[in-house]
Structure 1
Amino acid sequence: MTRIDAKFAALKAEGKKAFVAYIMGGDPDVETSLAVMKGMPGAGVDVIELGMPFTDPMADGPTIQLAGQRALDGGMTMDKVLGMVTEFRKGDSTTPIVLMGYYNPIYSRGVERFLTEATAAGIDGLIVVDLPPEEDSELCLPAQAAGLNFIRLATPTTDNKRLPKVLQNTSGFVYYVSITGITGAAAAQAADVAPEVARIKAQTDLPVIVGFGISTPDNAQAIAGIADGCVVGSAIVKDIGAGKPVAEVLANVAALAAGAHRA
């Protein structure tokens, strides 16, 4: 059982929904993003998604694109992303951490080397948005053999014919993208999302977590209420990009987490 599996089992036993929070590794610098990351569990974050900065983040809207650019401009590398996780694990051995991003930086590093270093650092799962199920032999299957969850995205355009393929070899949780389009582009609507979550849950026992388009505590509560939890990314990254102090960023994270946990 991975930390992700253990976390969702514990939340289910408590009758609670999950709050998942995303930040870009190294935005605007390692010190700041590590401070936010270390403060997240205390702010109510159940699972941390840590972005791997990449020059061509095709699924992301301007907010997260700019975060990746700030991180890269500041000299962020894969070594430093993994270093953040190693540092975080010195004080927290239980909070699940998922690396989220694109395949190119992993491919460039070499899959075997990346997986060895990621597991050693304390990574629990991967979300690699540009690797479809047809490419499972590239990373998904080796990652699972290394003990990592491989978390797949389902979207409003994932029809019933495609869904079983998407769910194949997925573990940890299913990430349902609530809108068609890029991150931070529109608000998720619970009425639209609810039947889609039900459709996915009819085909898997995995938790279904909804992301994209969630930016307020009320929105987090509404979306978490019809799923197993929600993900917030752009709203948090926007605060970091605005230069807000770490304490203020974490206060806003805590409000979002409280919203999800009220569901």
Structure 2
Amino acid sequence: MKPVSRLAARFDALAREGRAGFVPFVMAGDPDYETSLALLKALPAAGADAIELGVCFTDPMADGPAIQAAGLRALKAGQTLRRTLALVRSFREEDDQTPIVLMGYYNPFHAYGVEAFVKDARAAGVDGLIVVDLPPEEDAELRLPARAAGLDFIRLATPTTDAARMPAVLKNASGFVYYVSVAGVTGAKTGEAGAVAEAAARLKAASGLPVAVGFGIKTAEKAAEFARVVDAVVVGSALVERLAAALDADPGRPDNAINPVLSLARDLGGAVRAARGA
């Protein structure tokens, strides 16, 4: 019998609890390896139901200024894809339940070597991948090897994904579907709950998978609004901006930047948890 993935188990648990999940995004290696690891390990206790871990890249075309800056800080500190997998391995020494999804661009995975990467990612404890710039037409590049290795491959859908395009987008999706609430880069703006609810219902019916929404969600109020109509809420730029502000306030002590981020995560996660009165 095929084992249940961490993502499937977590979404099943959320459905039983009658609530949406909270998925924070943080950039691996931002602002350095040690601080990033400490933050990663603390996120589940702060309310994270799953974690989206950014893979830094020199040309992050789908990211807004905050996440671009986070990636540059990580690169400057020497972060690599290999060190990102090391972060996940260290996290798994203490937490074998919280799903981790790597989000990034195809170039680092290709440079690593796809066969070696999917093997090492699975061994490290990665649960899924979001690859922003790899369309369904290129499934053989990474999606098919990833699924063969037991990694979920999460698809992105947007307000411009029409009925003609949707079957191709969803064909080989697994884990969940990530609905980008607006057309644009991360952190710029966010969509309206009514439109998101309609899109999420269509995606869920077409795919049979849970639907998470992200891009531009910065307040507990907005997170709660979306948590009433989707299966999970992803927040990235707001947390990364909080980290950057704390680093600017005390540049010599990156460890002091962790608590402000966790405080915001607790606010967001609490709002998501309570949104349906669960």
TM-score in terms of structure 2 length: 0.93
Which residue number in structure 2 is paired with residue 103 of structure 1? Answer: 106
RMSD value, Cα:
0.9
Which residue number in structure 1 is paired with residue 230 of structure 2? Answer: 227
Matches within 5 A, 1:152-163: 152-163=155-166
Which residue number in structure 2 is paired with residue 254 of structure 1? Answer: 266
Give secondary structure in 2 for the equivalent of 1:22.
strand
Matches within 5 A, 1:1-263: 1-242=4-245, 243=247, 245-263=257-275
Identity between Structure 1 and Structure 2 (%): 57
Matches of 2:16 and 2:151 in 1, distance apart?
23
* CA-CA distance at 1:121 after TM superposition: 0.6
* CA-CA distance at 1:110 after TM superposition: 0.5
* CA-CA distance at 1:202 after TM superposition: 2.4
Stretches of structure 1 lacking an aligned partner (at least 5 in a row): none
Matches of 1:60 and 1:245 in 2, distance apart?
22
Matches of 1:170 and 1:240 in 2, distance apart?
32
Give secondary structure in 1 for the equivalent of 2:207.
coil
Letter in 2 for 1:228: D
Matches of 1:67 and 1:59 in 2, distance apart?
14
- Give CA-to-partner distance per residue, 1:100-119, whole Å, 9 cap, x none: 00000000110001011101
Give secondary structure in 1 for the equivalent of 2:173.
coil
Give secondary structure in 2 for the equivalent of 1:231.
strand
Equivalent pairs, count: 263
Letter in 1 for 2:236: G
* CA-CA distance at 1:261 after TM superposition: 1.0
Matches of 1:234 and 1:174 in 2, distance apart?
20
Give secondary structure in 1 for the equivalent of 2:206.
coil
Indicate conservation of the 8 Å contact 2:129/2:151, yes or no: yes
Letter in 2 for 1:261: R
Letter in 2 for 1:122: G
Letter in 2 for 1:69: L
Indicate conservation of the 8 Å contact 2:174/2:209, yes or no: yes
- Give CA-to-partner distance per residue, 1:96-143, whole Å, 9 cap, x none: 000100000000110001011101110000000111110001100110
TM-score in terms of structure 1 length: 0.98
Stretches of structure 2 lacking an aligned partner (at least 5 in a row): 248-255
Letter in 1 for 2:272: A
